Amino acid sequence: MEQRPPVAPAWDPAKVAGADRELRVRFERFSGALARTAGLEDVDVALGIVAREGRGLVCGSATLACAPDADGMWRGAIADAAGTRSASAALMEAARAGLSGADPGTGAASVVPGAAVVTSQTDPAGGMPCVLAVWFEVEAWTASPTRNEVLDAFTTHAAITLANARIYEAAGAALQHERDVVRQKDDFVAMVSHELRTPLTAILGSVSTLRRLGGPMDEERCVQLLDMADRQGARLTRLIEDLLRVAAAESDIEPSQLAPIDLVAFVSELEPELAEIAAGRLTVASECGDGVVRADVRKLRQILTNLVDNALKYAPDSPIEVVVHDCGGRRALSVVDHGPGIPEADRERVFDRFVQLDQSSTRSTGGTGLGLYLCQQLVRVQHGTLTISTTPGGGSTFTVALPGDHTPSEGNIR
Ligand code: ADP
């Protein structure tokens, strides 16, 4: 029988077994990395884990993982033998541009001769951009299509993981905001109840004493109790009016009617009205030629009246000046007094609701602690700022700075 010469197999079993093993190892690493990077809830933590897992997946010396946050700002993490840390903007930019040789150690986009870098990125048009860059030691480097495929697949998975973490973070922030709003509302209701109850208790107390002792009570005591009921009734009315104003300002019931207003003309027009309540203590000055701002005239009037009213109450013997001037490139209106002033430490909280610094003086002056809060709300909806400083020589200066008029037509904002 004819002996056929042995036929050499078309494949080398040793080679196939080697390739098989390599594939299996890659697959095992890949599925492990997938499991460890699933369900992450914090973007920065997720970036660190993705970078670390990416490095282990293809045995690189360092890995960068980066992706944009909800505001489009790129955030990234580097993982190498030293651990995990956040990546510099320069390095992220280099990796995104696919700049091979960018140095992960320095974080700068400098070129390291001979260093190999493999960059993998998802299509930004897909809505979930993510970039993974892996650096290899020069001696450990060999080209490998399967490694690149695994890296690409992992980058796609990382993009989804990071997008989920972003959604989780956004949902967490929204929930926290919701909780804060509910808590603020509860606090406000508690404060309002307390503030309303105080004068009401005084009124009811006076009436009840009058009823009990009405007959034998001397006239002076009787007048005292009636005065007290009167004062507290007036306080209650002021409180309710201020609360309604605050509610209107907060709920934007009246959208701002923004229009060009010349502050110098505005103050001159209001001067007679203010002078009447100021009993000769008020002067008006302008330190700039014109002061055209974009504002709501009714809201501005309310702010100025409130600030002058406060100066009259809390700086009782002082002259008061209303000055139109320049303030850091914006036109501004200041109400200046030479009274006791407001300590630096109280200048922030004085804008909170129901804050009254000197309880004895504010009770006697009929304050509600809502005036400055209301002023700040009204200034804010006009895109302005309200600040307190010390008047040279002592006293308070309240400054309302408003944006200039750059828009020719009138418009409403909410
Ligand atoms: P109020 O209704 O009590 O006047 P505001 O919110 O207007 O409430 O003011 C809060 C507190 O800030 C006042 O109770 C007072 O203690 C202090 N304050 C306001 N304006 C002045 C000022 N011009 N000088 C000194 N203290 C002031």
Q: How confident is the model at residue 385 (pLDDT cuts 50, 70, 90)?
A: very high
Distance of CA 247 to the CA centre of its chain: 22
Residue type at 53?
E
What integer is the mean pLDDT of 102-118? 47
Ligand 1 pocket test: which of 334, 350, 373 has the largest number of ligand atoms within 8 Å of its C-beta? 350
* pLDDT confidence of residue 148: 82
Task: Compute the distance between CA of residue 403 and CA of residue 374 in angstroms, rounded to an integer.
Answer: 19
Span 181-228, pLDDT tens digits: 898 888 888 888 888 998 999 999 999 988 887 667 788 888 999 999
For the CA of 370, the nearest atom of ligand 1: 6
Mean pLDDT within 372-394: 95
Taking the centre of ligand 1 as the mean of its atom positions, its distance from the CA of residue 218, in whole angstroms, is 37
CA of 374 to the centre of ligand 1 (A): 12
Ligand 1 centre distance from Cα of residue 254 (Å): 25
108 pLDDT tier (thresholds 50, 70, 90): very low
pLDDT at 8: 59
Q: Rounded CA gap, 369 and 372, in Å? A: 7
Distance (angstroms) between ligand 1 centre and the Cα of 369 equals 7
- Tell me how far the alpha carbon of residue 397 lies from the centroid of ligand 1, in angstroms: 12
Question: Per-residue pLDDT for 399 more than 70?
Answer: yes
pLDDT surpassing 60 at residue 278: yes
CB 338 within 8 A of CB 330: no
Mean pLDDT of 50-63: 90
Residue 258 corresponds to which tokens in the numbers above?
């923004």
* Cα–Cα distance measured from residue 180 to residue 177, given in angstroms and rounded to the nearest whole number: 5
| 239 touches 199 (CB < 8 A) | yes
Per-residue pLDDT reduced to its tens digit, 133-160: 888 876 666 777 888 888 888 988 998 8
The helix/strand count (H/E) of the chain reads as 9, 13
The answer to whether 146 and 23 have CB atoms below 8 angstroms apart is yes
Is the model's pLDDT at 408 over the cut of 50? Answer: no
Backbone angles phi, psi at 328, to 5 degrees: 55, 45
Give ligand 1 pocket residues (Cβ under 6 A).
Answer: 310-311, 314-315, 337, 339-340, 342, 350, 355-358, 362, 367-373, 396
Which one has a higher pLDDT value, 13 or 147?
Answer: 147
Query: Using CA atoms, how far apart are residues 84 and 66, in angstroms rounded to an integer?
Result: 13
Neighbours of 307 (CB within 10 A): 26
Average model confidence (pLDDT) for the chain?
A: 84
Residue 388: CB atoms within 10 Å: 17
Which residue do the tokens 């959604």 mark? 167
> For position 21, what pLDDT does the model report?
83
| Mean pLDDT along residues 372-386 | 94
Q: Which atom of ligand 1 sits closest to the CA of residue 337?
A: 23
Residue 395 alpha carbon, nearest atom of ligand 1: 24
State in Å: Cα 366 to ligand 1 middle.
11
Q: Which residue puts its alpha carbon closest to atom 19 of ligand 1?
A: 310
Cβ(61)–Cβ(86) under 8 Å? no
- Rounded Cα distance, 321 and 398, in Å: 11
For residue 363, the model assigns a pLDDT of 52
pLDDT at 411 (0 to 100): 40
Average pLDDT score over residue span 375-396: 95
pLDDT at 376 over 80: yes
Instruction: Give percent of the chain above pLDDT 70.
Output: 84
